[in-house]
Amino acid sequence: MTGKVDYLRLAKEFGVQLITDEDLGRLRELAGDVHPLLRRGYFYAHRDLNQIIERQAGGGRWALYAGRGPSGDLHIGHLIPWMLAKWFVDRFGVEFFFELTDDEKFLVKEGYSLEDTNRLAYENALDLIALGFDPKHLHLIIDTEDISLLYGIAVRIGKHLTLSTLKHTFGFTDSTNVGAAFFPTLEIAMAFLPSRVSGAEVPVLIPTAIDQDPYFRLGRDVAPLLGYPKPATIYSKFLPGLTGEDKMSASNPESSIYITDDDKAVRRKVMNAFTGGQATVEEQRRLGGNPDACPVYKYHLLFQDSDETVRRIYDDCRGGRLLCGECKLMLHERLSKFMVQHREAREKARERIGEYRIAAKL
């Protein structure tokens, strides 16, 4: 996937490694296949992914960690790292620790009460569970309710983090409230929780977007000081905005598909999407379109199951055999099917959410 963001430069700037064909080959050997998000290059960089792969090869234990600041505007892009996590869980039987940061959202976002963010933590968890996780493998940690698990680790981390580091990493200023200033210790503590609850060394792999690297680097710096393994990370590119931006924009609701969108809204957004097509049908037939600069194609890359379908869309677009209207209808059909299944699974998850709470299992 290409665009205006220079992903290679970003990776170089952060000093992270690119995922190589060799890494993917090793994963294929162990898992039997490679998830489309990896083989199509949406997840493209990492820190220590190869160590996790070798740990898996040697039968060692490791876990996944991700999190979410609960809010009412979850879009399908948020589900993407969780889908990759599901693949790792299915292939390797690893545990997935998921932090719902109702505290942080309350502390940094105006207009939310703590009751609101706590309620939204449960709502957002439904979207995660809806992807098909088993309670044996998915453990939900809700900060305000499960703090006793994290606090002992967090205070130890807190002793090693200065305000100046936090200002530099998170952009905190003198007007940042002290709750928000303490919060990063909890996010880092989560990376060490699997080791703490199992009493053994359990490194984590964190699937997230590339711009999150500076935050997790703090966790990697602190880990050896506390005797924990450094968290490994696997980084994605950004979800492109349907309206043509490189990154979906929260201030433009038309640029992404929200979980709460009904089918009419999904169709409108897809049919109005920016494309890499020509100005007229005649020109599209004669010159072909540019899928590499087209958000509709990028959504096909993320959501079509079949590599053959993706390849055909690319070739037919380039060759002028596919018109943007037809291509958008295909995308709408795919997303619509996904959303219907997701909504049903989400409602079923409501009855079972308690089984996923870490507090119910310890």
Minimal distance in Å, beta carbon 172 to ligand SF4? 41
Minimal distance in Å, beta carbon 311 to ligand SF4? 12
Q: How far apart are CA 123 and CA 71, in angstroms?
A: 9
H or E element at residue 267: helix 263-271
Q: Which residue, chain included where needed, has tokens 């998921």?
A: 98
Asked if 187 and 244 touch (Cβ cutoff 8 Å), the reply is no
Determine whether 110 is exposed, middle or buried from the number of CB atoms within 10 Å of its CB (0-12, 13-18, 19+): exposed
Minimal distance in Å, beta carbon 80 to ligand SF4? 19
Amino acid letter, residue 172:
F
Minimal distance in Å, beta carbon 322 to ligand SF4? 4
**Nearest to ligand SF4 of 94, 301 (CB atom):** 301
**Nearest to ligand SF4 of 79, 317 (CB atom):** 317
Minimal distance in Å, beta carbon 313 to ligand SF4? 6
**Nearest to ligand SF4 of 227, 319 (CB atom):** 319
Asked if 120 and 105 touch (Cβ cutoff 8 Å), the reply is yes
Determine whether 247 is exposed, middle or buried from the number of CB atoms within 10 Å of its CB (0-12, 13-18, 19+): middle
Minimal distance in Å, beta carbon 306 to ligand SF4? 16
- Give strand ranges (E) for the chain: 17-18, 43-47, 63-68, 95-100, 138-142, 204-209, 232-236
Binding site for ligand SF4 (CB under 6 A): 275-277, 289, 291, 294, 296-297, 313, 317, 322, 324, 327-328
**Nearest to ligand SF4 of 185, 275 (CB atom):** 275
**Nearest to ligand SF4 of 184, 291 (CB atom):** 291
Q: How far apart are CA 263 and CA 338, in angstroms?
A: 11
Minimal distance in Å, beta carbon 2 to ligand SF4? 13
Minimal distance in Å, beta carbon 337 to ligand SF4? 18
**Nearest to ligand SF4 of 169, 336 (CB atom):** 336
Amino acid letter, residue 76:
I
**Nearest to ligand SF4 of 10, 242 (CB atom):** 242
Asked if 318 and 287 touch (Cβ cutoff 8 Å), the reply is no
End-to-end C-alpha distance for the chain, whole angstroms: 42
Q: What is the dihedral of CA 157, 164, 11, 291, to 10 degrees?
A: 100
**Nearest to ligand SF4 of 217, 300 (CB atom):** 300
